[in-house]
Amino acid sequence: MAVGLSMALILNSLIGTIRVSYSKMLKKILLALFCIIQISYAENIRADVQAVKVTGDEGRYHFSVKLKSTETGCAQYANWWEVLSHKGELLYRRILVHSHPDTQPFTRSGGSVDISKDDVVYVRAHMNTHGYIGDVFVGSVTTGFKISDSNTTFANDLETQKPLPTGCLY
């Protein structure tokens, strides 16, 4: 009887250890899945330029820029789009004063941009949380605009250049 009781105690202890190990393993698996999901989500945060239309006259063009961004509200939104010279100089910045989580994609216009019809410029957007992350368009008034293959670090120092947003309304 004592041997049977001892065996029962040993089995009970062993089952308890297996449960604890299983619980720890399950926690590790869940933590790993959470990290993978977070990394995947962070990689999907973007502010993509989808289209650029230009109207007006040489030296004072008006840009209409269609954006698609992964916005959740003021905590994460595209807070501006801008026009850059081919040398990376800021020519114009359109501040977006509120988020657009339920209106994707959206188009916002701005100008006047002082360029000639043949000047090659870049148009890109900025996320308040992740900076310049997304598709950039390049072109001129004469040739039109298309997605650029330039790298994402082009003129990133402009991120602190004025004008800058002063907040998000909603």
Q: What are the tens digits of pLDDT across the range 8-33?
A: 566 566 566 666 665 665 455 544 44
State how many domains the chain has.
2
Q: Which pair of structure tokens corresponds to residue 125?
A: 């957007």
Question: Do 19 and 74 belong to one domain?
Answer: no
Let me know: does 134 contact 46? Beta carbons within 8 Å.
yes
> Do the domain assignments include residue 13?
yes
**Average confidence score pLDDT of the chain:** 84
Torsion region of 88: left, alpha or beta (phi above 0 gives left; psi -120 to 50 gives alpha): left
> Is residue 24 assigned to a domain?
yes
**CA distance linking residue 12 with residue 1, whole number of Å:** 16
Tally of CA atoms within 13 A in the half-sphere of 7 that contains its CB: 4
**Residue 149, pLDDT score:** 84
Distances (CA, A) of 5 to 11, 16, 18, 113, 131: 10, 16, 20, 88, 66
Percent of the chain with pLDDT over 70: 74
Residue 55 falls within a domain, yes or no?
yes
pLDDT in tens, the chain (170 residues): 555 556 556 656 656 666 666 566 545 554 444 434 444 344 589 999 999 999 999 999 999 999 999 999 999 999 999 999 999 999 999 999 999 999 999 999 999 999 999 999 999 999 999 999 999 999 999 999 999 987 667 899 999 999 999 999 99
51 and 39 in a common domain: no
What distance in Å separates the CA atoms of residue 138 and residue 37, rounded to the nearest whole number?
33
CATH of the domain at 81: 2.60.40.10
Quick: pLDDT tens for 41-51: 445 899 999 99
